[in-house]
Amino acid sequence: MAASSLLAAILALQLLLLLVAFTPAPAAAASPSKRPIHQPPSFPAGISTLRRRAASSSGRLATEAVKPFTAHYFPQELDHFTFTPNSSRVFSQKYLLNDTFWRKPTGPLFVYMGGEADIEWLATTTGFMFDIAPEFGALIVFIEHRFYGESKPFGNDSYKSVDMLGYLTSTQALADFAILITSLKQNMSIVDAPVVVFGGSYGGMLASWFRLKYPHVAIGALASSAPILHFDDITPWSSFHDTVSQDFKSESLNCFSVIKAVWDVLDNRGSNDTGLLELSKTFRACKTVQFIYPLSSWLQTAFIHTAMMDYPTPANFLMNLPAYPVKEMCKIIDSFPAGADVIDKAFAAASVYYNYTGDQKCFQVEGGDDPHGFKGWGWQACTEMVMPMTVSNESMFRPSSFSYEKMSENCLAGYGVRPRMHWITSEYGGHKIDKVLKRFGSNIIFSNGMRDPWSGGGVLKNISSSIIALVTEKGAHHLDLRSATKDDPDWVVEQRRQEVEIIHGWIDQYNKDTAQG
């Protein structure tokens, strides 16, 4: 199957966490390529305290020129679950430390579960942990996920074969975290210090699963925008694209209708070489595209990622974006005169995502680089992270279906392996999660914003008195983990205040239990 056909088949199913659609490379090379598809007071900080703290910063980390952490490397075993000759092979796992606010030896460890990206990028986009660390006297730790960033077990050859990629699993990653945290506490003589884990998106899934799998290591978890229910038939398969569509429709019905109409127009105009040449000029492509798919994918990525990053303040997460970027996109579309070309409207809106700063002379519509190191996600999506997705007729995107059989064939063609379709729910659960976790789980915050497309797979209702769902109507993708700013709306400030209060409760109870022996 041609690479473009494979990508087209997979994109509809696997617009996965953080974000980005990938396509498997041929099995011989197995090298997937990216497609642009966070003395202290003994009480929780109130809204006024968080406001003052935010007002003293620019909304980013205190300094961007000087990194607010030091990098370290831990000798990690390759395979935690077998005793084969290769299992004891050691690789260097990167982790970051910030002890600026640490009240040793009793201060807690705030540990971020690294997801599918370079850990330094994740650390510089997770200001919440830095914002609240002074209040807790916390040691901040960010741990990089195996096979991402600098934590590649086989160096630059880590993606070259299935034999190597086979060690890239969520269970291995969770075991890495457990061993590193335990060893760190022993080496620093703080074995009794409480650990709270944090994570957003896939990292949020890992944080919640870590609390369930390793309750002896972490006393609680903040899992932000963690779609742990986006598996099997637990959540509607169309929820992701339906939410994106609703985000745009809520701003402007005309905006929604323009985007919904653009796909057929693109297909018609891109049906021949002349049309592709003209479209390449319209889209200011750095080189003429040979197929219509890259243009459709380029537009779709802009709309989806903008919905995910629909933050109430300007941000530079995946791209530089203004506050409420969905609204800005729709303003542009609605400003065109009657009868204007639908493709011109869609391109102008997408430029908010790709060129808000106005410094792009042309756009890499095809290919492009991988600045945040998402490369391994294609493998994870084709092995255990099988999150079914469809596009309904009511969506503003092209309707599409999902087939386990077709996905299996595509992954076999791309990597030489078939997915374990239902492994995640077998390993971590998910079905009837309210009843199951109520019986044995505790100390997890599931936070979600309903403008985030991933919220459809999140835990949106309280499960027990200690497994709490914090839901904001206007929140976007793990907004709560970003740095506080002076312009944050009250509902964001209140969400973070509740999180701080809950974490205080976990730590206070742990300290009481420890004092009692």
- Specify which residues 321 forms β-bridges with: 315
pLDDT at 54 over 60: no
Structural contact between residues 244 and 303, judged by C-beta atoms closer than 8 angstroms: yes
pLDDT tens, residue by residue, 307-318: 999 999 998 888
User: Between 487 and 40, where is the model more confident?
Assistant: 487
Instruction: Choose the catalytic residue: 170, 201, 395, 466.
Output: 201
Q: Give the integer Cα–Cα distance in Å for 448 and 459.
A: 8
Burial grade of 200 (CB within 10 A; 0-12, 13-18, 19 or more):
buried
Dihedral (Cα; 223, 228, 230, 234), 10-degree rounding: -130
Instruction: Choose the catalytic residue: 230, 241, 372, 477.
Output: 477
pLDDT at 374 over 80: no
Instruction: Choose the catalytic residue: 131, 247, 452, 488.
Output: 452
Mean pLDDT of 177-203: 97
**Whole-number CA gyration radius for the chain:** 23
Confidence of residue 25 (pLDDT cuts 50, 70, 90): very low
Report for 63-77, 267-281, 359-373: range of highest mean pLDDT: 267-281
Q: Give the integer Cα–Cα distance in Å for 248 and 243.
A: 9
Dihedral (Cα; 326, 248, 475, 170), 10-degree rounding: -100
Pairing of strands 195-200, 109-113: parallel
Asked if omega into 108 is within 30° of 0 (cis), the reply is no
Burial grade of 163 (CB within 10 A; 0-12, 13-18, 19 or more):
exposed
Average model confidence (pLDDT) across the chain: 88
pLDDT tens, residue by residue, 440-461: 999 999 999 999 999 999 999 9
The percent of residues in the chain predicted with pLDDT above 70, rounded, is 86
Mean pLDDT of 139-159: 96
Structural contact between residues 433 and 463, judged by C-beta atoms closer than 8 angstroms: yes
pLDDT tens, residue by residue, 77-90: 999 999 998 899 99
pLDDT at 246 over 70: yes
Give the pLDDT of residue 476. 97
Q: Structural domains in the chain? A: 70-232+426-516 (3.40.50.1820), 238-355 (1.20.120.980)
Give the pLDDT of residue 369. 60
The Cα-based distances of 333 to 311, 328, 346 in angstroms read 20, 9, 7
Q: Give the integer Cα–Cα distance in Å for 220 and 80.
A: 23
Give the pLDDT of residue 371. 58
pLDDT tens, residue by residue, 248-262: 999 999 999 999 999
Confidence of residue 517 (pLDDT cuts 50, 70, 90): confident
Backbone phi and psi for residue 433, each to the nearest 5 degrees, phi listed first: -60, -30
Confidence of residue 289 (pLDDT cuts 50, 70, 90): very high
Give the pLDDT of residue 27. 34
Known catalytic membership, residue 452: yes
Confidence of residue 67 (pLDDT cuts 50, 70, 90): confident
pLDDT at 334 over 60: yes
Confidence of residue 373 (pLDDT cuts 50, 70, 90): low
pLDDT at 16 over 50: no
- Specify which residues 94 forms β-bridges with: 73
The percent of residues in the chain predicted with pLDDT above 90, rounded, is 81
